[in-house]
């Protein structure tokens, strides 16, 4: 049983489960490609030199270590953050969880949601992503960025909120 199934109540059902939009991974992928190209070029250059073999091996090890640190920090870490960030809508609540080593999260009962908004600019519209803004009864509005297909999520959440409340205003 994986997330989010392991945190649900007995008769609670997942309506939607999303990770942030893939656009968050574009920068880390570019860093991986550029860093790998620079490291490969540097290693190829050092391998062609007529340096002492021990010095050449030390420089190659330094290039490898620097590559590993940069890739781990600027590529692997953002990917793990993306993978461990969850936006979940159930038939009872909205859940948001994030974090690799230190987890944080928030649950918003559907009955406490006052309004649901979305916002996206031209690039977000092209990529079909955006920011979902949820205002609950007791808090300042919460903004969830890079939600894939934010308009559909907005409509789905709107329907779930009205279905939960059993309102006569519930859209058909």
Query: In this predicted structure, what is the pLDDT of residue 166?
Result: 65
Domain boundaries, the chain: 5-20+86-164, 25-81
Query: In this predicted structure, what is the pLDDT of residue 168?
Result: 45
Q: Characterize the bridge pairing of strands 14-18 and 86-90.
A: antiparallel
Could you tell me which CATH number the domain at 5-20+86-164 has? 2.30.29.30
Give pTM, 2 decimals.
0.83
Summarised one tens digit per residue, pLDDT across range 26-73 is 999 999 999 999 999 999 999 999 999 999 999 999 999 999 999 999
Evaluate if residue 79 carries a pLDDT over 80.
yes
Task: Give me the mean pLDDT over the 134-154 stretch.
Answer: 91
Summarised one tens digit per residue, pLDDT across range 80-115 is 999 999 999 999 999 999 999 999 999 999 989 989
Cis peptide preceding 4, ω within 30 of 0:
yes
Evaluate if residue 124 carries a pLDDT over 70.
yes
**Contact between residue 130 and residue 150 where contact means Cβ atoms under 8 Å apart:** yes
Round to whole Å and give the CA distance between 88 and 58: 48
Summarised one tens digit per residue, pLDDT across range 128-137 is 999 999 998 7
Query: In this predicted structure, what is the pLDDT of residue 133?
Result: 95
Evaluate if residue 24 carries a pLDDT over 80.
yes
Torsion of CA 59, 60, 64, 67, to 10 degrees: 60
Query: In this predicted structure, what is the pLDDT of residue 165?
Result: 67
């Amino acid at each position: 049983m994986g997330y989010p199934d392991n945190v649900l109540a007995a008769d609670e059902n997942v309506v939607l489960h999303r990770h942030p939009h893939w656009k968050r991974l574009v920068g880390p992928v570019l860093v991986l490609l550029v860093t790998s190209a620079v490291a490969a070029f540097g290693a190829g250059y050092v391998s062609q030199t007529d340096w002492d073999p021990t010095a050449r091996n030390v420089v190659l090890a330094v290039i490898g270590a620097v590559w590993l640190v940069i890739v781990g920090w600027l590529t692997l870490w953002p990917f793990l953050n993306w993978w461990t960030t969850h936006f979940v809508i159930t038939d009872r609540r909205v859940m948001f969880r994030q974090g690799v080593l230190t987890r944080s999260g928030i649950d918003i009962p559907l009955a406490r949601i006052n309004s649901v908004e979305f916002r996206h600019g031209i690039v977000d519209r092209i990529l079909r992503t955006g920011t979902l803004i949820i205002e609950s009864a007791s808090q300042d509005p919460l903004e969830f960025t890079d939600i894939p297909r934010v308009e559909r999520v907005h409509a789905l959440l709107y329907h779930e909120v009205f279905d939960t409340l059993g309102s006569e205003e519930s859209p058909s």
